[in-house]
Chains A and B, each alone.
Chain A
Amino acid sequence: MKKGFFSSRSRRLTGVDLPFLVGVLLLLAIGLATLYSAGYAKALQKTGNSYYYISRQGIFAAIGLGGMAIASWFPYRFYKKLAPLLYGICVVLLGAVLFLSNDTEKRWLYIGSFQFQPSEFAKVAVILLLAAYLSNPKLRIRNFWRGIVFPGVIFGVCALLVGIEPHLSGAILVASIGLMMIIAAGANVLYLVPVGLVCAAGAIALYFSEEYMQKRIEYWLHPELDPTGNGYQALQSLYAIGSGGLTGLGYGNSRQKYLYLPEPQNDFIFSVFCEEMGWIAAVLVLGIFAFVIVRGFYIASKAPDKFSSLIVVGIISRLAVQTIFNIAVVSGAFPVTGISLPFFSYGGTALVVLLGEMGIVLQISRHAALEKDAPIKDTEQENNGTRRKLSSRKEA
């Protein structure tokens, strides 16, 4: 117990999980370099300043890195108390954005000259509240209502609010994070089977009732049917990726970024990366992503307590699902839907929040028993006052 305590303490003082940090910084560096090239032409066309995207993203990256440092120092246990409050604020903001925004897709809130996406914060709030709820030792996690339905409501409310913005991919992302956290917390997976069936039935019903959905699926499978309209984005992205070959056209030499690709600086940034750098580099980037994700889950598995473990699971799940989702969309494996690539896509709120989340993971990694033979340490007692009292009462 003491050894563990010291080990944990020394980690808190000496630092964070270096491999994870290096992975994150690598992704950020490659992401910024890619954005510089990919957003160049678009920035020039839209703003007259080719450096518009990269200069702004650079500033956000700096802010985000600051946030990451702070988060890596900020004791994670305070989140347990903050979670309900944060969640409440986010629900209010998500509601507010629906009324206040005049855009067709109501995602942005404007406060003076400052603008941000509440859905980015909502994901964090959902992760923290779910982690707090699911780590409650009194929770009968195997119970259908407590293990499935109640946590489902927690992420479902946010997913719904994001979904009616409308931001379908955002809603799916929130729901995926929630589901993975429920599973990680030990809920009875069998209960999810009927839930999954209902969802599948709903999706199928939606497909057959809405011609719009059928069209969407058709243009996903056959973008060449309408190369200048519904199939345009998918096709242009495939052109970019396919043009890359093994080694790519060379950094800066993407041709598709010259206004053929929609949003080359944002959702389709990975297409430009594939075109310029080729398959080998693309697989390298996928590898770094995979490394960060696997390392993240490793940190989660060695986390000091269930709360922190579930936070990491949530954050890493969000990173993994969003990355896969984006790459699948730009490579035509999924129907086109707006979802950005973590570390790469242009977007201030998203980057700052993402780096903040990475900071939280780093903070938890300070407490995790990451040595090869270190026992899984239950520091619940330390952090859970009731538990300690209970044991001391027993001793007494």
Chain B
Amino acid sequence: MNMPSKNNRVIRYLFPMIFGAVFLGLAGWLFYLQVIQHDKYESLALDQQTWEITVDPDRGSIKDVNGVDLAVSATAYQVLMAPAQLTDEEDRVEVATFLSEALGLNYETVYNNTQKNSQYLAVKRRIEKEDADKVTQWLTEHKEYKTIVWVSEDTKRYYPYKNLLSTVVGFVGSDNQGLEGLEYYYDSYLSGTPGKITAVRTAKGSAMPYEYESYQDAVDGYDLYLTTDVQLQYILEKHISNTRVEHNVQSRIGGVIMNVKTGAVLAMSSKPDYDLNDPFTINDEMTLEKLLASYEENSEEYKAAYTKKQLEYRKNKIITEQYDPGSTFKIFTAAMALEENLVPLSETFYCSSQIDMGAITYHCAGKKAHGPETFKDAMANSCNVVFVQVADRVGVDRFYKYFTLFGFQQKTGVGLPGEVSGIFFEEDEMTRWNLYSSSFGQTFQITPMQLITAVSAIANGGTYMKPYILDRVVDQDGNIVLQNEPQAVNQIVSESTCETLRDFLEYTVVKGKTGYLKGYRICGKTGTSQKMEGGEYGEQKVIASYVCFAPADDPEIAILVMVDEPNSYVQYGSYIAAPLGRDIMGECLEYLNIEPDYEDGGAVTSVLVPSVSGMSVSDAAAAISDAGLIAKIIGDGEKVSSQLPAAQTLLCSGNTVLIYTDSNGNVEKNTSVPDLKGKTAAECNSLLQQAGLNIKVVGDNLNYSTTVAVSQSIAKGTVVKKGTLITVKFEGQKQE
């Protein structure tokens, strides 16, 4: 029987055709997968075949102006795990038990991690060497886990100075990313660029014998050099911490020190602050006591209040919060009036403790009547009555213009995160009465940073210097990536206005006494502002502040301290803030090698000549002697008819005040000025005393043995009245 030919055709043609078609289809399908979808599958395959190991760059350091480390990265360790290779339940339990115990971790957390299908998982980062050694030791005893658990290097951020400058420096998070302060603001400079190692691994994690490795080096972060000086910062923080405790300060306390010539921030602090190494813990005893007094420990309320405080303490209140500057602002009101020639220095005002300006009557602090006074006296007396009148002359428009020029309407741009500007009136909405209250620093708010920057402008002769805290950025090879230079923004007021103001402010300090520092000529102004409570100014809570700069004849540094809610009996700025500012200034000047003005068996004190006219000669002599001056009585009358120098003149202690009695006789009133050139300070003093003249010493480097007089204010041989003040300029050279 022949096979039917039909079936033969099925076998010979149909089957091959069907299978051939299917094979063609498969070839097409493979073309789609291998060629068209190649990139997609290859990248997916490489994703799982390759391990991209990130090589963390070293984070740059933050250093002070002298290169002292404020924030550094140090080597630490981390424990890593490849849980995908832990297939056995018993192994998972063993590994989780050991790791949780050795590293002080929660067992559940570690156990859950062991179940993940991952080849690379950090069990714990930033551990100390002891803990890392524990794991290494265990691994030598349990070799079966050697490819599953391993220890590798890690970096940890250390802040050697803990609380010091903490609100400025800030800290980093768990992945070394900056979270606060400079760490946050300059994170891009500090963090560097991570490197990468790409390696091929089998599904079990071991190396594949296949060339597919690439390296990309990590670029370490840059170092930041600040303008701040750890020593000055330490002085600042020590004093404000002490004051905080001494006066039981309820709210914030802060201080800032600035180089008036450059605008560089030398120190900056607000308290309470925190330890940068432990940023989530409050380490302030006062706060902890208060919290415990208010809430039950570990209650929900306690925790909430704790967290709130802790967040608050991370803020740098010098730039992130405003305050009422109070009378310290009178400096600027005076600057405007002087610059615009609105108040002759000879003009006498009269203060009866209050002034009626229509809708509102303004009072002086403590309702004190200052009586007749010059503008200079009004500054020293912090007389609101006079300043309201002066402000009236300045007017809203000019006041607004200068207010803006002094930088109170904008952020200073010091280069720190979270900076705010002041809160002030809209120009077209500002009334006369807003102006009057503003003239003595009430009804508006500015930041301490804004105030010290503006004060620095007065101190340096009228130039607004843009403040800065970052001096330079340096890469790991020492190349300077960025260098901040002092930046003069504009000349706000003239040099002569500043000179007058400096005279005013030096006078204010000497007269105010509490800010006075023996041996130094300091300009300063206190402020006591009432705090707004519920939209009203209350009397109870005040902010005491003090701003000062020195030396008066050539200012170098300015200091502002702000004490919010001191809780002691006397709250005035002059009693709390001025001594604080004075103490800081004294130590700072000493540290900066700015020597006391005159040294001859002890620092010379500036004193004010008392007014002795009309007194009995014996009383007058006693008053002058009490003031630390020497009285030289001229004539033989009973009563004092006049004095030289005049009352309220600043003299060095030990200087002579001539008292002229009502019966002069034939007393020689005049004298000839001796030649002082080339004489030492002691010789000058002695010569002038013999001639019945007074000395005022100016100049630098006064305590060198080579220091001699180079010029005198009145030429030799000139005949002058006895008691006249001769200003002598000294210069000296440091001997090698």
A, B from the same assembly: yes
Query: Contacts A283-B30, A324-B26 given: A242-B42 contact, CB under 8 Å?
Result: yes
Q: State the CA gap A376–B516 with chains docked (Å).
A: 130
Residues in B with CB closer than 8 Å to A278 are: 34
Binds B, one of A83-91, A120-128, A179-187, A196-204: A179-187
B570 in contact (CB, < 8 A): no
**Is B203 touching A241 in the complex (CB atoms < 8 A)?**
no
Query: Contacts A239-B44, A243-B38, A378-B1 given: A282-B23 contact, CB under 8 Å?
Result: no
**Is B48 touching A245 in the complex (CB atoms < 8 A)?**
no
Among A266-289, those with CB < 8 Å from B are 274, 278-279, 282-283, 286-287, 289
Least Cβ–Cβ distance between B729 and chain A, in angstroms: 85
Residues in A with CB closer than 8 Å to B41 are: 238-239, 241-243
Query: Contacts A259-B203, A331-B26 given: A239-B10 contact, CB under 8 Å?
Result: no
**Is A286 touching B45 in the complex (CB atoms < 8 A)?**
no
**Is B38 touching A245 in the complex (CB atoms < 8 A)?**
yes
Q: State the CA gap A255–B208 with chains docked (Å).
A: 8
Residues in A with CB closer than 8 Å to B10 are: 183-184, 186
**Is A184 touching B7 in the complex (CB atoms < 8 A)?**
yes
Nearest chain-A residue to B9 (Cβ)?
Answer: A301
B4 in contact (CB, < 8 A): yes
**Is B34 touching A274 in the complex (CB atoms < 8 A)?**
yes
A290 in contact (CB, < 8 A): yes
B117 in contact (CB, < 8 A): yes
Least Cβ–Cβ distance between A236 and chain B, in angstroms: 8
A174 in contact (CB, < 8 A): no
**Is B203 touching A258 in the complex (CB atoms < 8 A)?**
yes
**Is A45 touching B117 in the complex (CB atoms < 8 A)?**
no
Chain A contact-residue range equals 35 or more
Q: State the CA gap A331–B32 with chains docked (Å).
A: 10
**Is B15 touching A313 in the complex (CB atoms < 8 A)?**
yes
- Identify whether the interface residues of B are mostly helix, strand, loop, or mixed: helix
* Interface size, chain B (Cβ < 8 Å): 42
Least Cβ–Cβ distance between B61 and chain A, in angstroms: 42
Q: State the CA gap A146–B318 with chains docked (Å).
A: 103
Among B3-52, those with CB < 8 Å from A are 3-8, 10-12, 15-16, 19-20, 22-23, 26-27, 29-31, 33-35, 37-38, 40-42, 44-45, 48-49
Q: State the CA gap A240–B44 with chains docked (Å).
A: 10
Residue of B7, B19, B30, B117 near A279 (CB, 8 A) is: B30
**Is B3 touching A376 in the complex (CB atoms < 8 A)?**
yes
Query: Contacts A45-B204, A186-B6, A278-B34 given: A320-B19 contact, CB under 8 Å?
Result: yes
Residues in A with CB closer than 8 Å to B70 are: none
* CB 8 Å contact bits of B73-85 with A (1 = contact, 0 = none): 0000000000000
Residues in A with CB closer than 8 Å to B117 are: 228
Interface centre among A258, A317, A380, by most chain B C-beta atoms within 10 angstroms, is: A258
Query: Contacts A137-B1, A293-B19 given: A238-B11 contact, CB under 8 Å?
Result: no
Q: State the CA gap A259–B7 with chains docked (Å).
A: 48
A92 in contact (CB, < 8 A): no
B210 in contact (CB, < 8 A): yes
A253 in contact (CB, < 8 A): yes
Residues in B with CB closer than 8 Å to A290 are: 19-20, 23
**Is B210 touching A255 in the complex (CB atoms < 8 A)?**
yes
A342 in contact (CB, < 8 A): no
B200 in contact (CB, < 8 A): yes
Query: Contacts A186-B6, A242-B34 given: A380-B15 contact, CB under 8 Å?
Result: no
> Number of A-B pairs whose CB atoms are under 8 Å?
142
Query: Contacts A260-B203, A333-B26 given: A297-B11 contact, CB under 8 Å?
Result: yes
Least Cβ–Cβ distance between A389 and chain B, in angstroms: 14
Query: Contacts A255-B200, A256-B45, A283-B30 given: A242-B40 contact, CB under 8 Å?
Result: yes
A37 in contact (CB, < 8 A): no
Q: State the CA gap A279–B38 with chains docked (Å).
A: 10
A164 in contact (CB, < 8 A): no
Residue of A186, A245, A293, A332 near B42 (CB, 8 A) is: A245
**Is A245 touching B19 in the complex (CB atoms < 8 A)?**
no
**Is B33 touching A293 in the complex (CB atoms < 8 A)?**
no
A62 in contact (CB, < 8 A): no
Query: Contacts A228-B117, A245-B35, A246-B34 given: A324-B19 contact, CB under 8 Å?
Result: yes
Among B205-224, those with CB < 8 Å from A are 208, 210, 212
A328 in contact (CB, < 8 A): yes
* CB 8 Å contact bits of A327-358 with B (1 = contact, 0 = none): 11001110000000000000000000000000
Among B168-203, those with CB < 8 Å from A are 200, 202-203
Q: State the CA gap A131–B10 with chains docked (Å).
A: 16
**Is A274 touching B30 in the complex (CB atoms < 8 A)?**
yes
Residues in B with CB closer than 8 Å to A183 are: 10
Query: Contacts A228-B117, A278-B34 given: A41-B11 contact, CB under 8 Å?
Result: no
Nearest chain-A residue to B26 (Cβ)?
Answer: A327
A309 in contact (CB, < 8 A): yes
A244 in contact (CB, < 8 A): yes
Residues in B with CB closer than 8 Å to A185 are: 7
**Is B30 touching A301 in the complex (CB atoms < 8 A)?**
no
Least Cβ–Cβ distance between A286 and chain B, in angstroms: 5
Least Cβ–Cβ distance between B110 and chain A, in angstroms: 21
**Is B31 touching A279 in the complex (CB atoms < 8 A)?**
yes
Nearest chain-A residue to B15 (Cβ)?
Answer: A297
Q: List 12 additional A-B contacts (Cβ < 8 Å) besides A324-B26, A331-B26.
A: A240-B45, A241-B34, A243-B42, A245-B38, A245-B42, A260-B48, A260-B203, A289-B23, A298-B16, A313-B15, A327-B30, A333-B29
Q: Can you list 17 A-B pairs, Cβ within 8 angstroms, ordered by A?
A: A180-B15, A186-B4, A239-B41, A241-B33, A242-B41, A256-B45, A258-B202, A258-B203, A274-B30, A286-B27, A290-B20, A294-B20, A297-B15, A301-B11, A313-B11, A328-B26, A378-B2
3 shortest A-B CB distances, which residue pairs? A242-B41, A301-B12, A258-B202
